[in-house]
Structure 1
Amino acid sequence: MIRDIVRDTFFLSQPSVPAERNDVAIAEDLVDTLKANADRCVGLAANMIGERKCIIAIRVGHAYLAMLNPVVVRHAKESYEVREGCLSLAGERSAQRYAWLEVEYRDLKFRKKRQVFRDFPAEIVQHELDHCAGILI
């Protein structure tokens, strides 16, 4: 189901709580909402659709990936500065990002997965993880 995008900075600045197996429907709604906004967005976190759960969805090329409880387990030593926009906030802001990171997460069947993201997909994941932490970028 496609959901409205939350723009309330007070709500968005609250850290998310861990997702549970019965939160998979939220992840599916997140992917549906990301697809509906594909012309202007490459990633979403659950709080952006009104759910304070640690769930993110990203688009890499033409593929969509939902991650429940994503955690960075390794990352590049060096970081660099980028300018990022956000569907929930107006304008762009600076952020520090790693060129690559390895993330452990649960998939839509709540199976544990591990994946390495590089370059722009790594930036997307880091942006959405900031949302889960209540960090507004």
Structure 2
Amino acid sequence: MAELLEVIELGNPILRHKADAILNVMDDRVQTLIDDLMLTVKHANGVGIAAPQVARSQRLFIVASRPNPRYPTAPDMEPTAMINPQILVHSDESVKGWEGCLSIPGIRGQVPRHQAIEVEYIGRDGKRHTQELTDFVARIFQHELDHLDGIVFLDRVESTQDLMTEREYQERIVNEGQ
């Protein structure tokens, strides 16, 4: 049975460390962590979550894009565990987009990210996967990959003018966009 995990917040030193590679994907502890992360991201209305965000310094994250109150226009996809992920190739084109983070509640920022990326990761089945991601899902992948390297989205914001509170974001961006 999956367990809801506590999401740690900015200031916790685990968020600033480079996470360790996972050597045995089929280990019961890794499989349980995947289940726990999937439950936790869904419960928190997130579109992604990385193991360091629940105080586990391991190279694992979940990409779980779906429309929800925090991201009403997110594309719907099957939640996917990505273990020891990496970007193989990225587009030269960079686009700014709004990001939030479960570990930095109450703040949104405009973050530049590659528009398209080709990625490689090991799935929960232990098999290597290669995939091209674009737009919002590519943004999620890059945001979560940063967590594995001790980087948070605030580190990528180009100006404090590109920050706003969650409440202002919901009123100005989400509500005006509908």
TM-aligned CA deviation for residue 79 of structure 1:
1.0
Which has the larger displacement, 75-84 or 116-125? Answer: 75-84
TM-aligned CA deviation for residue 8 of structure 1:
4.5
Question: Is contact 1:43–1:58 with CA below 8 Å preserved after alignment?
Answer: yes
Q: Secondary structure at the match of 1:63?
A: coil
Q: Greater RCO between the two (CA within 8 Å, min separation 6)?
A: 1
Question: Once superposed, what is the RMSD of the aligned Cα atoms?
Answer: 1.4
- Structure 1 residue runs of 5 or longer lacking an equivalent are none
Question: Is contact 1:76–1:98 with CA below 8 Å preserved after alignment?
Answer: yes
Q: Secondary structure at the match of 1:83?
A: strand
For each residue in 1:93-116, what CA deviation from the matched residue of structure 2 results, as whole angstroms up to 9, or x when unmatched?
332201111110011121111111
Structure 1 ranges of 4+ moved more than 4 A: none
- Structure 2 residue runs of 5 or longer lacking an equivalent are 66-75, 154-178
Aligned length: 135
Question: Which residue in the other structure is 1:17 paired with?
Answer: 20
Q: Distance in 1 between matches of 2:52 and 2:128?
A: 22
Q: Distance in 1 between matches of 2:10 and 2:151?
A: 13
Which has the larger displacement, 107-116 or 56-65? Answer: 56-65
What aligned pairs does 1:20-39 form with structure 2 within 5 A after superposition?
A: 20-21=23-24, 22=27, 23-38=30-45
TM-score (norm 1): 0.91
The answer to whether residue 83 in structure 2 is matched with residue 68 in structure 1 is: yes
Question: Which residue in the other structure is 1:4 paired with?
Answer: 6
What aligned pairs does 1:92-111 form with structure 2 within 5 A after superposition?
A: 92-111=108-127
Question: Is contact 1:27–1:68 with CA below 8 Å preserved after alignment?
Answer: no
Q: Secondary structure at the match of 1:93?
A: strand
- Tell me the amino acid that sits aligned with residue 7 of structure 2: I
Question: Which residue in the other structure is 1:58 paired with?
Answer: 63
TM-score (norm 2): 0.71
TM-aligned CA deviation for residue 83 of structure 1:
2.8
For each residue in 1:103-133, what CA deviation from the matched residue of structure 2 results, as whole angstroms up to 9, or x when unmatched?
1001112111111111101101110001011
